[in-house]
């Protein structure tokens, strides 16, 4: 059975409330939603995605007020950032205390990541379902995140109950994940809110954890993975992908695809070229990233060459995804 795709928010909400799985559009990527308070439904999310149970889920709320009601001790620093960036592509890791969610949601951690999406349909769905919705990206574990309803159909259509079609995602990369303390904000995953935006909005240091704890230093310090989902290979097409600083003069043998911010001077040697933004706008590039990777992956190439963007603003999130799309 292939899941029905449509725009029936009432039906989607009823299904969530009944413990079923519904994929839904958010501004970042499509999520695979389940009632966060229902362990059987949450377990089904892990099963359908083939996701390891050590990788916790983000819980989605319809409003900042509902987050505050659920987490009575909402740290001041988190409050300030929530005021500034919610609804929007920011996930904040909070102590789980008595939040009432299934333990499976946070994979045994004492914390839980929460966010209020800005996509109107997503918030209507959560409000109508009358409960917070746990949702990872609606793709098979480790594969490319979906930014349209048909991407979800391709990977999960057979296994879920409904897909709430809210059109193509306008941000196109996942939310930024942060952990806050009184003294600092730790950025755990680059995403739709940039480190520059966070730095200008809070009065403390923003620590770029992925940069400071690359695999080597992490091993040498023997510290745990700050965010369990930051496995090195992720967002991966089936075709081997290599990330480079600039278009190579000699390209590898065989059928090679290129993914780059802007068109190359000479695209002749490549079998297929995907340009993320003709004008070089990283925002537009983020919106196009995952669909472009899917098109290249569908083109039966021997290799994909991806060119790194300038490492600033949304370029950081895009480079992070391309880096982890490499077959190590
Ligand atoms: O934009 C998004 O965040 C999308 C949409 C659907 O909201 N969701 C998403 O979920 O990307 P997922 O499951 O693909 O990625 C969640 C990330 C993982 O890297 C996970 O390890 C991290 O958030 N995470 C979740 N809970 C955490 C926690 N308590 N502490 C640290 N990291 C956490
Ligand atoms: Mg994901």
Kindly state if the Cβ of 31 falls inside 6 Å of ligand 1.
yes
Q: Which ligand is nearest to the CA of 31?
A: 1
What average pLDDT does the segment 133-146 reach? Answer: 96
pLDDT in tens, 233-265: 778 899 999 999 999 888 888 999 999 999 988
Question: Which contiguous run of DSSP H or E holds residue 45?
Answer: helix 39-49
- For the Cβ of 320 lying below 6 angstroms from any atom of ligand 1, the answer is no
In a mutational test of the pocket of ligand 1, which residue from 24, 32, 57 has the highest number of ligand atoms less than 8 Å from its CB? 57
pLDDT, tens digit, 9 for 90 and up, residues 58-69: 999 999 999 999
Q: Cα–Cα distance between 182 and 190 in angstroms, integer?
A: 21
- Look at residue 215 and tell me whether its pLDDT is greater than 60: no
CB atoms < 10 A from the CB of 155, how many? 19
What pLDDT does residue 216 have? 47
What integer pLDDT is reported at residue 328 of this predicted model?
55
Q: Which residue has better confidence, 35 or 235?
A: 35
Residue 218: per-residue pLDDT: 45
> Contact 59/175 with Cβ under 8 angstroms?
no
Q: Which residue's CA is the nearest one to ligand 1's atom 12? A: 136
Ligand 1 mean position to 177 CA, how many Å? 7
Regarding the beta carbon of 230 and ligand 1, being less than 6 Å apart is answered: yes
pTM score, whole prediction: 0.94
Q: Is 253 exposed, middle or buried (0-12, 13-18, 19+ CB in 10 A)?
A: exposed
With a cut of 90, say whether residue 128 has pLDDT above it: yes
CB 137 near ligand 1, within 6 Å:
yes
Is the model's pLDDT at 219 over the cut of 60? Answer: no
Q: Is 72 exposed, middle or buried (0-12, 13-18, 19+ CB in 10 A)?
A: exposed
> Alpha-carbon distance 258 to 254, whole Å?
13
Under the banding of pLDDT at 50, 70 and 90, the label for residue 1 is low
Q: Report the separation in Å between the CA atom of 136 and the middle of ligand 2, taken as the mean of its atom positions.
A: 6
Would you state the pLDDT for residue 75?
A: 86
Confidence of residue 214 (pLDDT cuts 50, 70, 90): low
| Ligand 1 atom with minimal separation from the 58 CA | 25
């Amino acid at each position: 059975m292939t899941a029905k795709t449509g725009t029936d928010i009432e039906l989607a909400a009823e299904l969530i409330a009944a413990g079923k799985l519904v994929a839904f559009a958010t501004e970042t990527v499509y999520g695979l939603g389940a009632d966060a308070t229902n362990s059987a439904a949450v377990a089904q999310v892990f099963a359908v995605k083939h996701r390891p149970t050590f990788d916790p889920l983000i819980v989605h709320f319809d409003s900042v007020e509902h987050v505050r009601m659920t987490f009575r001790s909402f740290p001041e620093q988190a409050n300030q950032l929530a005021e500034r960036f919610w609804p929007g592509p920011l996930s904040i890791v909070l102590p789980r205390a008595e939040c009432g969610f299934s333990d499976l949601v946070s994979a045994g951690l004492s914390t839980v990541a929460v966010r209020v999406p800005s996509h109107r349909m997503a918030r209507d769905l959560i409000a109508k379902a009358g409960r917070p919705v746990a949702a990872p990206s609606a793709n098979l574990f480790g594969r490319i995140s979906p930014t349209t309803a048909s991407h979800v159909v391709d990977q999960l259509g057979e296994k879920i109950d409904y897909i709430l079609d809210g059109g193509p995602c306008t941000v196109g990369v996942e939310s930024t994940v942060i952990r806050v303390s009184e003294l600092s904000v730790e950025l755990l995953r680059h995403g739709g809110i940039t480190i520059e935006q966070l730095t200008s909005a809070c009065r403390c240091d923003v620590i770029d954890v992925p940069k400071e704890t690359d695999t080597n230093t992490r091993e040498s310090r023997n510290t745990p993975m700050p965010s369990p989902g930051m496995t090195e290979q992720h967002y991966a097409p089936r075709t081997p992908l290599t990330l480079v600083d600039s278009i190579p003069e000699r390209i590898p043998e065989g059928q090679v695809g290129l993914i780059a911010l802007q068109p190359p001077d000479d695209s002749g040697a490549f079998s297929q070229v995907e340009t993320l933004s003709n004008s070089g706008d990283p925002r537009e590039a983020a919106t196009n990233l995952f669909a472009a990777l899917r098109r290249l992956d569908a083109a039966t190439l021997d290799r994909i060459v991806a060119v790194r963007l300038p490492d600033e603003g949304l370029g950081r999130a895009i480079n992070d995804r391309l880096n982890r799309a490499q077959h190590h």
